[in-house]
Amino acid sequence: MNNPLMIAFVIESVVIVFMLLVIFWLVRTQLQLKRDYRILSDVVHGHGNDIAGLCTAALTVDSRITAVDRQIASSFERLDDLAESVAEAEQNEQPAHPYSLDIRKVRSGASVNELMQNSGLSHDEAALLIRLHGSKPQP
């Protein structure tokens, strides 16, 4: 009777030791998983804060871009209005004296021959206009 009881006792002892080892391993693994979970939770929370900051910055940039677009559109409208005003002024403008168009041509760099051909001026008139209103030669 002693022998089977002893065998049962040894088997139960081995099973209990094995179960204790498994429980120890499970507790250790569970603690490691908790630590990993806390680390990952902190990382995810940090990423969430980063994303919120990026979204706020994107909204700020978007509002600035919208304001700049409005300013550009307003500037284009003003430029169009000014271009129309200048075009109307040029159409309504009559030369103050007969040589004003020729003086503009001289200031744009027209030569004596161009003035003679396009404006019907004599050689002396064209040369005089260039001398009076042309750019000064650089020494």
Alpha helices, DSSP H, located in the chain: 2-92, 100-107, 112-119, 123-133
**Model-level pTM?**
0.42
Give the C-alpha separation, 116 to 111, whole Å: 9
Give the C-alpha separation, 87 to 90, whole Å: 5
| Residues 67-101 pLDDT 10s | 999 999 999 999 988 888 887 777 666 556 677 78
Is the CB of residue 95 less than 8 Å from the CB of residue 101? yes
